[in-house]
Amino acid sequence: MQSFELDKSDILKLKAALESNDADLQKLLEEYHASEIAILFEKLEPEERKKIINILPTEVASDVLSEMDEENHPGQLLIDLHPEKRSEIIEDLDYDDATDIISQLEEHEQHEVLKDIDHEDASNIRALMNYDEDTAGGLMNPDVLKVNVRLNKKDALDEVIRLSEEMEEFYTIYAVDDDNILQGIISLKDLIKSRTGAMVSDILKTDFVYVKADIDQEEVAKLISQYNITSIPVVDDHMTLLGRITVDDILDVMEEENTEDILKISGVSEDEELSGSWQDAIRSRLPWLVINLATAFLAASVIRHFDGTVAKLSIISAYMTIIAGMGGNAATQALAVTVRRISLSDLTDQQAYKTVVKEFLVGMINGACNGVIVFLVALWYDANPMLGLVLFLAMTGNLIVAGLTGASIPLLLKRLGIDPAVASSIIITTFTDCIGFLLPLWLATKLLL
């Protein structure tokens, strides 16, 4: 099955069905998966979305809402529904998905939504809303399949069957004591294959991975990836079982974290929605552009300092923009690799040292190779071997600086407790621009004039 791509014909068909009768619309919607309808919603007006949600069966409507991106405001769509339809959808949603959607609403709207649903469901959702959304607690689903360690195989299987009727899917069975303290985990396969009369306490695994509720979601993603597990239990400081996080939730986290890193490296605030308005984009980007402008003036001051050299050797101005640009590109490459390494694991001092040394060597070799090319160009077009030597040295030097700063600046910022993805690019651009102008102008002054 191929991934769904938004097509103009799909939108046109859906728009036509919306203007037709409900039967035609319902028939067309049956052709799409819930996740595909969520994608189509990006091109529809709020009233059109509302009409579709009201026509869809509750289980499909809840899936559509859970698949919608936050920037498309599923919470607002939910609050606009009739209270009865809204309650049915919320009670069909997993607790973690319901919490994510309801958290987008104003406090009075949250109260309005929660007062109409089952008391137990409302209590579970309120409990989840107390956790930061970027933590394990904010990510977890309190619906877990658990059995008491004192049960035998038959009673444990009966309990699994009973609990599984209200769960769409489960990956692991959790073994707890009378106080709901997590004792271990059991796979369904091990439970079924165990001998008749075996106790849960005999077959559980006590060596398992778990997370505390306040741990950052990115750390949860790393653990699930590192240990190749499909779910992970969430506990409090006393090992009380609070919920579980499944691999499908982690996929969303990984996409969110990667998007956040890309935006930060590009000098765009993570608060800017990808489909936000032009006003949002200006508020997000303008401060960074102003900072970039200040650093550009710093680079320009280097040129002004050597205005005599530029006046006597005007050809150097054409080459130094190339050298500065190449330095910026090389630094971005080193920065991207280093930030990615930092995001995947906390580097030890030895690993950090090796990373900087590696980028130094890469910068030196790449700089020398590109320097040779620039030397040959200067020799061919300008018939000036000394100019070629100046450009060779400047290119090599700037790419060395690019590699060193691209690797060391994010590591230093991380050590200082500053997010390396936010500030690194501006600092590194300043270095490569200034050195990219300084080296050719200084060398030309010393060797050519």
How does pLDDT run across 198-252, given as a tens digit for each residue?
999 999 999 999 999 999 888 898 888 888 888 899 999 999 999 999 888 887 7
d(CA 378, CA 315): 10
d(CA 249, CA 253): 7
> Got the DSSP string for 142-184?
S---EEETT-BHHHHHHHHHHHHTT-S--S-EEEE-TT-BEEE
Whether the pLDDT of residue 418 is over 90: the answer is: no
What pTM did the predictor assign? 0.63
Nearest CA to 327 out of 387, 265, 370, 376 is that of: 370
Name the percent of the chain in helix, strand, coil, to the closest 5.
Answer: 70, 5, 25
Own/partner long-range contacts of 117-125 (Cβ < 8 Å, ≥24 apart): 117/87, 117/90, 117/91, 118/91, 121/90, 121/91, 121/95, 124/95, 125/90, 125/95, 125/98, 125/99
d(CA 387, CA 375): 8
Domains of the chain: residue spans and CATH: 8-130 (1.25.60.10), 146-254 (3.10.580.10), 278-447 (1.10.357.20)
**What six digits make up the tokens of 415?**
């050590």
Residue-wise pLDDT tens digits, 141-160:
898 999 999 999 999 999 99
Residue-wise pLDDT tens digits, 56-71:
999 999 999 998 888 7
Amino acid 7: pLDDT: 73
Percent of the chain whose pLDDT exceeds 90:
42
Nearest-5° angle of CA 378, CA 379, CA 381?
Answer: 65
CB-based contact 206:184 (threshold 8 Å): yes
d(CA 194, CA 192): 6
